[in-house]
Structure 1
Amino acid sequence: MLSRFRDHIVVNHPDQLSRQWAQRIVDRYATSAKVRTVDIRSVNIGTSTRLRLTVNHDAIGVVPSRWFVKTPSLAIKSRAITSIPRLLHKEVHFYNSLSQGVPVSVPQILAAESLLGRGTTLVMADLDELGFRPGLTADALSLEQAQQVVEKLAGFHAHYWGNAGLLKTHRWLNGFSHNVENHMGTLLAVPLMKRGLDRAGRLVPNKLHRSALRYAADRRRITKILATGVQTLVHHDCHPGNLFWNHSEPGFLDWQLVRMGEGVSDLAYFLATSLKPESRRAHEKQLLKLYMTALASHGISDLDEETYYQRYRAHLVYPFEAMIVTLAIGGMMERNSNLELIARVSAAVDDNDSYSALSI
Structure 2
Amino acid sequence: MPRNMRELTCTAQERVNMLVANISNPAPERLPLHVEEITTSWLTSALARGHAGVTVESLAVSDVMYGTATKVRVHPGYNARGRELGLPESLIVKGGFVPEYRNLNAYIYEYEARFFKEVHPHMHANVPACFYAETDARSGQSIVILEDLRSRNVEFCRVQKPLTFAQAAANLDAQARWHAQFWQSPELDSGGELTWLAPQDPLPDGESGTYHWGQLKPDVFASYTQLPRGAAVPKRFHDRDWMERALLDLRAFDRIGPMTLLHGDVHLGNLYFDRDGTPGFLDWQSYRRGPWAHDVTYFLISALDIADRPRWERALLEHYLERLAFYGVKEPPSFETALEAYRRHIVYGLFFWLVNPVEWQVEVNNCAVAPRFAMAALDHEIHDLIGR
Task: Name the aligned partner's letter for residue 302 of structure 2.
Answer: T
Distance 1:355 1:8 in 2: 53
Asked if residue 252 in structure 1 is aligned to residue 281 in structure 2, the reply is yes
Asked if residue 193 in structure 1 is aligned to residue 215 in structure 2, the reply is no
CA, structure 1 residues 227+182, in 2 after alignment: closer, same or farther (shift >3 Å)?
farther
- Counterpart for residue 162 of structure 1: 184
Distance 1:62 1:29 in 2: 13
Task: Name the aligned partner's letter for residue 224 of structure 1.
Answer: A
Query: Matched residue of 2:216: which SS?
Result: helix
- Counterpart for residue 314 of structure 2: 285
Q: TM-score when scaled to structure 2? A: 0.84
CA, structure 1 residues 82+32, in 2 after alignment: closer, same or farther (shift >3 Å)?
closer
- Counterpart for residue 65 of structure 1: 89
Residues 104 and 251 in structure 1, CA contact (< 8 A), matched pair in contact too: yes
Q: Which residues in structure 2 correspond to 1:179-328 (within 5 Å)?
A: 180-191=207-218, 192-199=220-227, 200-210=229-239, 213-216=241-244, 219-220=247-248, 222-247=250-275, 248-300=277-329, 301-326=331-356
Q: Match for 2:164 among 122, 142, 154?
A: 142
Consecutive unaligned residues of structure 2, counting only runs of 5 or more, are: 1-21
CA displacement at 1:208 relative to structure 2: 2.2
List per-residue Cα deviations over 1:176-215 (Å, max 9, x = no partner): 99764335423542344322222223111113222x5422
- Counterpart for residue 124 of structure 1: 146
- Counterpart for residue 82 of structure 1: 105
List per-residue Cα deviations over 1:229-272 (Å, max 9, x = no partner): 20000111001111121121101111111011100110100011
Asked if residue 337 in structure 1 is aligned to residue 365 in structure 2, the reply is yes
CA, structure 1 residues 175+215, in 2 after alignment: closer, same or farther (shift >3 Å)?
closer
Residues 301 and 373 in structure 2, CA contact (< 8 A), matched pair in contact too: yes
Task: Name the aligned partner's letter for residue 362 of structure 2.
Answer: E
Task: Name the aligned partner's letter for residue 195 of structure 2.
Answer: R
CA displacement at 1:310 relative to structure 2: 1.0
Residues 9 and 113 in structure 1, CA contact (< 8 A), matched pair in contact too: no
CA displacement at 1:296 relative to structure 2: 1.8
Residues 130 and 145 in structure 2, CA contact (< 8 A), matched pair in contact too: yes
Residues 289 and 305 in structure 1, CA contact (< 8 A), matched pair in contact too: yes
Task: Name the aligned partner's letter for residue 90 of structure 2.
Answer: R
Task: Name the aligned partner's letter for residue 123 of structure 2.
Answer: V
- Counterpart for residue 43 of structure 1: 64
CA, structure 1 residues 28+299, in 2 after alignment: closer, same or farther (shift >3 Å)?
closer
Task: Name the aligned partner's letter for residue 78 of structure 2.
Answer: H
Distance 2:159 2:138 in 1: 31
The percent identity for this pair of structures is: 23
Asked if residue 105 in structure 1 is aligned to residue 135 in structure 2, the reply is no
CA displacement at 1:38 relative to structure 2: 1.5
Count of matched residue positions in the alignment of Structure 1 and Structure 2? 354
Distance 2:241 2:89 in 1: 49
Distance 1:132 1:288 in 2: 26
Distance 1:99 1:32 in 2: 26
Moved more, 333-342 or 89-98: 333-342
CA, structure 1 residues 237+29, in 2 after alignment: closer, same or farther (shift >3 Å)?
same
Distance 1:209 1:266 in 2: 24
CA displacement at 1:9 relative to structure 2: 6.1
Task: Name the aligned partner's letter for residue 165 of structure 2.
Answer: L
Higher helix proportion, which one?
1
Distance 1:306 1:255 in 2: 30
Distance 1:142 1:34 in 2: 44
CA displacement at 1:222 relative to structure 2: 3.5
CA displacement at 1:43 relative to structure 2: 1.2
CA, structure 1 residues 218+275, in 2 after alignment: closer, same or farther (shift >3 Å)?
closer
Task: Name the aligned partner's letter for residue 171 of structure 1.
Answer: T
Query: Matched residue of 1:182: which SS?
Result: helix
Distance 1:264 1:49 in 2: 30
- Counterpart for residue 352 of structure 1: 380
Moved more, 172-181 or 108-117: 172-181
CA displacement at 1:131 relative to structure 2: 4.0
